[in-house]
Structures are given as structure tokens and as C-alpha cells.
Amino acid sequence: MTIKNITILGSGIMGHGIAQVSAMAGYKVFLRDIEQKFLDKAMEKIKWSLQKLSEKNKITANEVDTIYSSITPVVDLRAATSNTDLVIEAVPEDFKLKEKVYNELNGMVQDDVIFASNTSTLPITELSKLTTRPQNFIGVHFFNPPQLMKLVEVIPGTQTNPKVVQELTHYVQSLNKHPVICQKDVSGFIVNRIFIPLVHEALFSLDRDRVSMDVIDSAVKFKLDFPMGIFELADYTGLDVVYKASYEMNLRDKNVLLMHPKIKELYDNNQLGQKTGKGFYEYKDNNYERVNLTQEKSSQYDPLSILGVAANNAAWLIENKVCTLEDLNTALKLGMGLKTEIFELVKNLNTSKVINRLREIEMQQGSFYRPNKYLENIK
């Protein structure tokens, strides 16, 4: 089957971005949300983004108009799916909500139409069972902002037809993005298995080490060479996304992260980061605003436990054959913008120091911090 028309369900940060990059690759897109006001906001963001890309000569002014007009915002689900080849679900990360959406879709869309979920953490096989087409169901996980991040994780469920994996891989490539296949349908897949626990670890570091958020973030940016600090990235991703991903991951696998209560507190107070003007930091602009992080502040902190927790989860992925070391490095480079490979970073910060710091914290906070044996071989 050739994919021409695509329906995106959910017009939030991920949904509107996926709609835009699909339209930029020449697909006709139906962007669906439950209220017109969400769609209006999404279309505004798409216009802003297209104009930014045009200012930077990535697309022409004419293309801005053509791309924009190939996206049809629509509230009616039947109209959004009546002439589609691929449905990408990007609704909030809540199993019950996704179940409701798939129940509605099942009777409405023919079984040969592929359903893909942009879930960030929910098991694909579990989701596929909510549909009438487990063999035509797959995970395609984009990264924020989809307009700039090159990675897409492709996650087959146990019943996904290999042809569907192939078709979705082609679709991802047609967007000029890089697919990495997640070989096992594990909680958090590849990148979120590393990113989400880091937000909690940054908070534990704040409690333990009594330094400020911007010092920790500066150290992450300048000593680990991440493009953003962890608190900054969490605010940018949205603390609703981080909270829901944490909750769902923790429900399925207690070893993947240690929950810090602050995430739920911020979520309950609707302090969701950049989108609400306040999260860990405060913001004036809801389009794109950066936190002032400096090299000078970074000299006050060694982010040993942050790197240790990331490296432990990275080692777990390799040990459990979720991905190869090469795919892990590609995923972290293209999905989180890491300039240096994760185990190189461990070496650079000094492997023994990282392992010893994890052991010290293990004595206080338990086995979650036990250094993975894989780390001992990093020399």
C-alpha cells in the first residue's frame, strides 16, 4: 500500500509537529483534536514554525503556504479518517484515554489501514490489543520538537506484520528522519528509558547536593555537552508529559526509575513548563525560550549521579538486547542531541568516580543506584 493521506490524532506538541513534518514531505494531512480551539493553537504553532524554517532558508515562502494548506484541521473523527492510509495517534499518555480513542476508531476505519501510536512509554503489544488490527499496529515515537529532531523510534509489537515495519520505516525515511528499531517492546523504549529517569535524578541531586537548578543544568550542558539542561528539557517537553510517562513506566517496571514527588506536585498545580509559563523555571514566551545556563555555573558541580543513572539505564538496554550499542548512540545523538556518546562521557568524567558515586548513593537510597556491571568495563 502507498501512504498518501495521513490522519494525526491529537494536536499537542507532538501531534502538530508530526502533522507539519508529514506535510513537509508531501503527504496530505488531517489533524484532528476534540475542540476547535486546540486546533487553532496547533495551526498557529505550525505557521510560526514554518516561518522560522523559511527565515532560515530551509523552505521557501511559497512552500510555507503549500505546506500549511495541505494540513486540514478537523474536529469530526469520521471526517478525519474517511480517506486515510495511516492513522497516527498522538493523544496524551493515558492508557484509558487511548483505549477510548481506539474503541471509537475500530468500527470507523477499515482494518487494512495502519494504526501507529506515538506513545512515549506504553507497550505497543498492549495497545495493539485494543484495536481490531494488531498485525497492522506499530509504535512510531517522535521526539520534541519533531520539526528539528531527526530520530524516530519504530517499535513493532509481537503481532506486527513485518511489512508494516517496512512501510513505517519508509514513511519515517521519507520525512528525512532516521528510524531506529526498538527490538523489544520495553517500558520507555530506548530514549525515554534514559531521559525520564534523569528528570527524577536531577531532582534527587538537588535535594542531596544542595546546589541550585541552574547550576545542575549548567553542568549537564557544559560538562556532559547536552544541548539543554535536564530541568530545562523537562520544562520544554512538558511536565504533564514527564509525569504521565513516569507514571506509566513505573506501573509496568519498578526498576526503571525512582519517582521524585516534585513531578506530581508540579503536574497537580498545572505548572507544566514552557507551555504554562512556569515549571521548574519561569517563561515569557510559549514558543521557544531558553534558560540562561553558563560555563561559569557549571564549574560548581560534577553531575556524577545524573550520568551514572543514565549510563546504568543505557547498559540495561544493551544487556537486554533492546538495541545495539550503535543504535543506542544514534538514538541519543538524534533524539536528545547528545554530542558525545554516553559511555565516552562516563570515561571523560572518570569511570571509577561515576561508579563510586553510584555506590555511595546506593548505601543511602537503595539498589536502584547499584552500578551495572557493564560500567566496570568502560576504560
What does the binding site for ligand 3HC look like in residue numbers (CB under 6 A)? 49, 52-53, 120, 143-145, 147-149, 192, 195, 227-228, 233, 237, 241, 245, 288, 290, 335-337
Burial of 91 (0-12, 13-18, 19+ CB in 10 A): buried
Helix (H) or strand (E) segment spanning residue 29:
strand 28-32
**At 258, which amino acid appears?**
L
Q: Which is nearer to ligand 3HC, 208 or 339 (CB)?
A: 339
Residue that has been written with the C-alpha cell 549521579 in this structure: 305
Instruction: Report yes or no: 191 and 198 within 8 Å, Cβ to Cβ.
Output: no
CA dist., res. 155 & res. 104, Å (int): 23
Identify whether 153 is a catalytic site residue. Answer: yes
Residue that has been written with the C-alpha cell 526509575 in this structure: 257
In the complex, what is the shortest distance from the CB of residue 192 to ligand 3HC, in angstroms, rounded to a whole number? 5
> Choosing from 16, 89, 141, 248, which is the catalytic residue?
141
Identify whether 141 is a catalytic site residue. Answer: yes
Residues 6+ apart with CB under 8 A from 100: none
Q: Which is nearer to ligand 3HC, 20 or 81 (CB)?
A: 20
In the complex, what is the shortest distance from the CB of residue 367 to ligand 3HC, in angstroms, rounded to a whole number? 26
Identify whether 329 is a catalytic site residue. Answer: no
Q: Which is nearer to ligand 3HC, 195 or 343 (CB)?
A: 195
> Choosing from 89, 153, 201, 248, which is the catalytic residue?
153
In the complex, what is the shortest distance from the CB of residue 52 to ligand 3HC, in angstroms, rounded to a whole number? 4
Residue 360 grid coordinates: 555511595
Judged by DSSP in three states, 43 sits in: helix
Burial of 157 (0-12, 13-18, 19+ CB in 10 A): buried
CA-wise closest residue to 311 among 273, 268, 340, 275: 340
In the complex, what is the shortest distance from the CB of residue 97 to ligand 3HC, in angstroms, rounded to a whole number? 16
CA dist., res. 21 & res. 1, Å (int): 21
> Choosing from 117, 128, 136, 192, which is the catalytic residue?
192
Instruction: Report yes or no: 155 and 138 within 8 Å, Cβ to Cβ.
Output: yes
Instruction: Report yes or no: 283 and 230 within 8 Å, Cβ to Cβ.
Output: no
Q: Which is nearer to ligand 3HC, 84 or 218 (CB)?
A: 218
Residue that has been written with the C-alpha cell 498518501 in this structure: 4
CA dist., res. 140 & res. 28, Å (int): 18
Instruction: Report yes or no: 5 and 74 within 8 Å, Cβ to Cβ.
Output: no
> Choosing from 22, 118, 120, 187, which is the catalytic residue?
120
In the complex, what is the shortest distance from the CB of residue 121 to ligand 3HC, in angstroms, rounded to a whole number? 7
Q: Which is nearer to ligand 3HC, 144 or 356 (CB)?
A: 144
Identify whether 120 is a catalytic site residue. Answer: yes
Q: What are phi and psi of 155, to 5 degrees?
A: -125, 105
In the complex, what is the shortest distance from the CB of residue 196 to ligand 3HC, in angstroms, rounded to a whole number? 7
Q: Which is nearer to ligand 3HC, 141 or 297 (CB)?
A: 141
In the complex, what is the shortest distance from the CB of residue 25 to ligand 3HC, in angstroms, rounded to a whole number? 15
Q: Which is nearer to ligand 3HC, 113 or 230 (CB)?
A: 230
Residue 131 grid coordinates: 484495536
Residues recognised as catalytic: 120, 141, 153, 192
